[in-house]
Amino acid sequence: MSERAIRPIQFHVVQRGETTPLQTWLYRLAAVGLAIVMGGLFLWVLGYNPFLVYAAMLKGALGSAGMQKETIKLMIPLCLTALGVTLAFKMRFWNIGAEGQICAGAIAASYFAYFHNGMPRTLLLVVMAVSAIIFGGLWGLIPAYFKTRFGTNETLFTLMLNYIIGYVITYLREGPWRNPEGGFAAMPRFVKEARLPEVWFPGVGNIHIGWIVMFIMVLGIFFYLRHTKQGYEIAVVGENEATARYAGMPVGKIIMRTMFLSAGLCGLVGMLQVSGPDRQLTDAVANGRGFTAVSVAWLARLSPAGILVVSFLFSVMEKGCSMMQTEFRIPASMSEILQGVILFCVLGAEFFISYRVVRRKEKA
């Protein structure tokens, strides 16, 4: 046995130099391909025909106008929430609290829907939207204030606030806002005036007006980040806080303002959900979207157009997996594993875009 054979193989990770856009996209394509193959293997091991399952997924997400409609309805909150967290992420403020900010917005909107629903419909919906933005924004302002004033860790702070507001919804459901009808605790349905109108989406059919808000926001956030002074300030604070301060920028104010906008947009998502598809306030109003949106924003590299594409793909996957469950009796947990495999590969590719693994050279 030679001495060489027992020497452990060693690897180390080095940062890549410049990656060309072509390389980047090749890696991503390879990752998606790998994800599909791995997911297919997984299905095959379980005893399903992967081709049929994938076909059913696509059909389930896009196969008919009805399915496309549901896919878009999943996409609206995901895309808008991802845009919301992007504002904070650009500034390197890790807003993991979108989940709670959605809930906060939903609560504010529901307050008007339940207790002040006598006003004209348009006015009521505007009041609901504005209050959702303000309350969601204020909820996000709390960690921003503590961050700028006391230097608290915003990741933990925003995360923990999610639980608090989640229990506020439970409290409202069990107590003051409970529907007196019936033996179980639940909040009542919204009156007709508090429900979003539906607008024709080309080629698909009527979808609640949130889809228009989504497209406006994609353009709006793109413009805001790219072409306004405030957008520039966000970028500078994100790159280097010291530079920003040296340049005379009021860093604290920028952080608070941006976080208010970020959380306010998430709050608006809460209003669109309760008033659009949910038609009542439930404790499942955010249902994990606030976390999925973080993945969406990162995969899209914080680009609004990218977020539009990625949130669409995520929604296709989610809707497809749901269909897979119906059609092949694949357990829900299995479709979650499949989603996990796909995410793992795609997120893993991002690592290999920035870094590469080299085998350590033998010492002579």
Partner 1 sequence: MFKKMLAFILSTVLFLSLVPVQAEASFPPVAKEDIKVGAIFIGPKDDGFTGAHYNGVEGMKEALGLNDDQILYKFNVPENNETDIALRELIDAGCQIIFGNSWGYMDFMMEIADEYPEVIFSHCSGYKNNGVNFNNYFGRIYQSRYLAGIAAGLKTQTNLIGYVAAWPDNAEVNGGINAYALGIQSVNPEAKVYVKYINSWGNPSLEKQTAVALLDLGCDVIGQHVDSAMPQVAAQEAGKFGNGYNTDMTSVAPDAHLTAPIWNWSSVYTAQVQAVIDGVWEPVNYFLGLKENMVDISPLSKNVAEGTQEKIDEARTKIVSGEWDVFTGPLFNNAGEQVLAENETFADGDITGGLMTTLLVDGVEVK
Residues within the interface to partner 1 (CB under 8 A): 60, 64, 66-67, 70, 73-74, 170, 174, 178, 181-186, 189, 273, 276-280, 282, 284-285, 287, 319, 322-323, 325-327, 329, 331-333
331: left (phi over 0), alpha (psi -120 to 50) or beta: beta
Smallest gap, in angstroms, from Cβ of residue 163 to partner 1? 14
Smaller CB separation from partner 1, 121 or 189: 189
DSSP 361: P
**Pairing relation of β-strands 205-208 and 355-359?**
unpaired
**Token pair of 80, please?**
């808008």
What is the rounded distance in angstroms from the CA atom of residue 352 to the CA atom of residue 339? 20
What residue type is 285 in one-letter code? V
**In the complex, minimum distance from the CB of residue 138 to partner 1, in angstroms, rounded to a whole number:** 24
- Shorter beta-carbon distance to partner 1: residue 147 or 195: 195
| Alpha helices per DSSP H over 116-153 | 121-150
Nearer residue to partner 1 within complex by CB, 69 or 356:
69
Q: Where are the beta strands (DSSP E) in 167-204?
A: 198-201
Query: Closest approach of Cβ 279 to partner 1, in Å?
Result: 8
Which residues have CB under 8 Å from 5's CB, separation 6+? none
Cβ proximity to partner 1: between 102 and 217 the closer is 102
Nearer Cβ to partner 1 (96/285)? 285
Smallest separation, CB 190 to partner 1 (Å): 10
Nearest-approach distance from CB 282 to partner 1, in angstroms = 5
Q: Report strand pairing: 355-359 vs 198-201.
A: unpaired
